[in-house]
Amino acid sequence: MEKFGMVYDKMNSNYSAIENMMGVIYQQIQESPDNQQLQSILQGLGDIAKGIISSQMDFTEAYCDPSLKDSLINKLSDKQRVLSNALNENKGKTL
């Protein structure tokens, strides 16, 4: 379980780094809403972030202690839903 937590935390760290980059790009989009290149970068980073969440879900399903699995999967599902909603909302505003 210790190794699971270490790998899971590293995945969270990678997600947070991408999330921070997305925040910077989002702010730039707010300043230049017609910049399609920024929009593409944001959506691309979003796809990477979704991939990290998906990998975390698969990893959790395969290796997590059963007593924690459902809770972690629910948190990851919520994170995935929020991310997808934010990306879709932003995409609709700028396209």
95 confidence band (pLDDT: 50, 70, 90): very low
pTM of the model: 0.89
Q: How confident is the model at residue 21 (pLDDT cuts 50, 70, 90)?
A: very high
Q: What is the pLDDT of residues 23-69, one digit of tens each?
A: 999 999 999 999 999 999 999 999 999 999 999 999 999 999 999 99
Provide CB contacts within 8 A for 94, sequence distance 6+.
Answer: 29, 33, 34, 36, 39
What whole-number distance in Å separates Cα of residue 93 and Cα of residue 33?
Answer: 8
Query: Which segments of the chain does DSSP mark as H helices, in order?
Result: 2-31, 36-63, 66-94
Alpha-carbon gap, residue 5 to 91, rounded angstroms = 34
